Amino acid sequence: MGGEGDGVAPGPVFVPFTLAGERVIATGSGERRSLVEVLQSSPDRVAPSCPHFLACGGCALQHWAPAPYLAWKVERLAGTLARQHIETELLPAFAAAPGTRRRLALHARRGTREAAKLGYKARKSWDLVDIAVCPIADPALQAAIPALKRLAAPLFEHPKSAPTLHVTLTDAGLDVDISGVEQKSGGLSADARMQLADRAAEADFARVTLDGEVAYLARQPTVRLGAATVALPAGAFLQATPQAEAAMAAFVAEAAAGAGRIADLYCGVGTFTFRLAEIAPVLAADFAGEAVRALTGALAGVPGLKGVTAEARDLVRRPVLAQELKHVDVVVFDPPRAGAAEQTAELARSSVARVIGVSCNPATFARDARTLIDAGFRLERVLPVDQFLWSPHVELVGVFQR
């Protein structure tokens, strides 16, 4: 199996929707082919759960039984670490279940006046697959698909508009942030904005924003993070499933137990911050000012915390320096896909005793881990996390001890 979830035949030839050991007919030329027919199936092949599978580019591996699929993800993670000459204990993986995704990015294309086409791009194509169901999504998101199609219909006044609806299920209902509406012509007309608001109200959405600007607001979208209730900024980052977030947060808190002072870097809206602040005072930092303001705004409603000091700070251009970490004994960092090379260099120079790395990209995690290991840390254990179900994507949490 290739790194993107395609079966690999000699050549190499990559064929999507195939499994190791299968005999298939494929068409095309070059390295990448298209599946025509499976002549001899793997015993690990299962019936896909979605009627849009094969056409939709959202899932690549619904045809693979859960146990070997998850084992393959863990093996890939081990291989990525091995390329940096890193060996560690890989714990049993956390696996998200179907129907648990709380956020989706749905592309919209012009349909009728009443309903746009809405779904995911086809595999390796700009074509849109107009979906009726999405088995990875929370049932509340699935049930909202018809209303989201109606919401998107007024967005096509300009021919260059190619909207994407970033939909998040919050405790207050659905929060929809829309990007990709052409702005050069002045954006949506007053009439289109009125239609957008009417359709949002009809569907009882909590909030609809256009690139962060409020177009409709019935209720402030909120989420529960530990003991805190956080008012979400438009388009705020959250872990894809609440179950994975809970598992990762519990693992991080367990690894941080006994700390005297903690730094939570790339803290976002406080996914780990509030739980860590039950253990020790926390220094929190993130480049997103709105996320930091949401975090600090929630602090007053959470009794019993040891204290949180939060700062909006670009951790690439201005990482927290080794001397600033002089009184910190545990650091948690959860960077974007590019990793945290600049911040890791400062951690390597610091006197911090324990580092907990959360990552959505094993390759950049392995690079940053190598920096810490070369500075005298040991990567003690790693929790693999599969919250992007039926994709080749895998995440992780790793614990380093000096």
Spell out a b/e string for 238-272, using b for 16 or more CB atoms within 10 Å of the CB, else e: bbbbbbbbebbbebbbebbeebebbbbbbbbbbbb
User: Where would I find the H helices in 35-119?
Assistant: 66-82
Give yes or no for a contact between 284 and 309, defined as CB atoms under 8 angstroms apart. yes
Nearest to 367 by CA among 347, 339, 331: 339
Tokens at residue 108, please? 């919209």
Residue with tokens 């609440």: 242
DSSP 8-state code for residue 137: B
Residue for token digits 């976002």? Answer: 268
Q: Which tokens sit at 231? A: 């008012």
The CA distances from residue 63 to 17, 37, 43, 204, in Å, are 7, 14, 11, 36
Which of 50, 56, 267, 360 is the catalytic position? 360
How far apart, in whole angstroms, are the C-alpha atoms of residue 283 and residue 267? 9
Under 8 Å between Cβ of 295 and 232: no
Tell me the CB-side half-sphere exposure of residue 289, using CA atoms within 13 A: 0
Nearest to 69 by CA among 58, 61, 79, 81: 61
How many residues in total does the chain contain?
A: 402
Contact partners, residue 71, CB within 8 Å, separation at least 6: none
Residue type at position 302 = V
- Tell me whether residue 134 is one of the annotated catalytic residues: no
Looking at residue 161, its amino acid is S
Query: One-letter amino acid identity for 25?
Result: I
Question: What is the distance between the alpha carbons of residues 1 and 328, in angstroms, rounded to a whole number?
Answer: 43
The Cα-based distances of 271 to 51, 160, 292, 396 in angstroms read 34, 36, 11, 15
For the chain, state the CA radius of gyration. Answer: 23
Residue in the structure block whose two tokens are 């959405």: 205
- For the annotated catalytic residues, the residue numbers are 360
